[in-house]
Amino acid sequence: MSVVPVSYYLVLSAVLFGLGVIAFVFKRNAITVFMSIELMLNAVNLAFVAFARAHNQLDGLVFVLFVIVVAAAEAAVGLAIVIMLAQNRRSLSVERMNHLKL
């Protein structure tokens, strides 16, 4: 039975992370921007799991659980902020977030 090499997972993780960064920079809706951050965090999780496999350790797997928990806490706070903004402004475009300027 052939096994997929660890390096494949790392490349996939790097691609996902890169896509997350690109989406963060170019997307205009606050929720989509937030989703791109989630994508980046999951790319990190994939890297942790792949490295844990490569080193034959459990540590990397435990880190993933921590990251998932923290990401959930972050999502709770982030979506609350989104709701607050939507109530006060009725728009979630980051381009319109120009109240504060030079």
Partner 1 sequence: MATAQLVNLHRVAPEWHLSIVGILVMILDPFVSPRRKRWLGWLAFAGALAALLAVHRAYDSQGMAYDNLISTDVFSVFVHVVVILAAALSILGSIDYLEREGIQRGEYYALILFATAGMGILAGANELVTAFLGLEMSSISTYILVGFRRRSEPSNEASMKYFLLGSFATAFFLYGIAMVYGALGTTYIDKIQALLERPGGIPALAMLGLGLIFVGLGFKVLIAPFQVYGPDVYEGAPTPVTALLSSAPKVATFALMLRIFYVSFGMASDFWFWAVWISAVLTMFIGNLAALVQSNVKRMLAYSSIAHAGYILVAFAASTTLGIAAVLFYLAAYVLMKVGAFLIVTHLGQRGEARLDIRDYAGLGSREPVLAASFSLFLFSLLGLPATGGFLGKFLAFQSALDAHSAHGTAIIWLVVIAAINSVIGAYYYLRVIISMYFAQPSTDYTPSSVAPALGVAIFVAAIGTLYLGLLPAQVLEFARTAADSLPLH
Give me the residues that bind partner 1 (CB under 8 A), please.
10, 17, 20, 24, 30, 33-34, 37, 40-41, 43-44, 47-48, 50-51, 54-55, 57, 59-60, 63, 66-67, 70, 73-74, 77-78, 80-82, 84-85, 88-89, 94, 97, 99-102
26 versus 89: smaller Cβ distance to partner 1: 89
Shortest Å, Cβ 2 to partner 1: 22
Helix (H, G, I), strand (E, B) or coil at 29: strand
DSSP secondary structure of 32-101? HHHHHHHHHHHHHHHHHHHHHHHHT-SHHHHHHHHHHHHHHHHHHHHHHHHHHHHHHHS--BGGG--SS-
Shortest Å, Cβ 95 to partner 1: 12
